[in-house]
Amino acid sequence: MSATISDVTVHIDETLNDRELVNLEQAIRSDEGIVSVGHNEKDKHFMVVLYDPEEIRGKDILSRVTNQGFHGELIGFL
């Protein structure tokens, strides 16, 4: 893992129940280069992902969301 850690906020269009949210976090967490995944209990549409940009890209994180059958956008991503 590199010394550089990046973060991105993913806005999830759907309203996920607790099980769906945990499963999505676990799916993202299983990818190489993911450091941490979390969400705000008050607004479950937003998920923050910390990752190693030398191992994974933001668009790959979004692809993981869409591959799980959900829709979303990256926020604060260049």
Q: What is the mean pLDDT of the chain?
A: 93
**Tokens linked to 8:** 């991105």
Domains, in order of start, for the chain: 6-75 (3.30.70.100)
Q: Are 75 and 10 in contact (CB under 8 A)?
A: yes
Q: Is the pLDDT of residue 49 over 80?
A: yes
d(CA 42, CA 65): 20
Between residues 1 and 33, the one the model is more confident about:
33
Q: Taking residues 53-78, what's their average pLDDT?
A: 92
Q: Can you give the length of the chain in residues? A: 78
**Strands 34-40 and 43-51, bridge-based pairing:** antiparallel
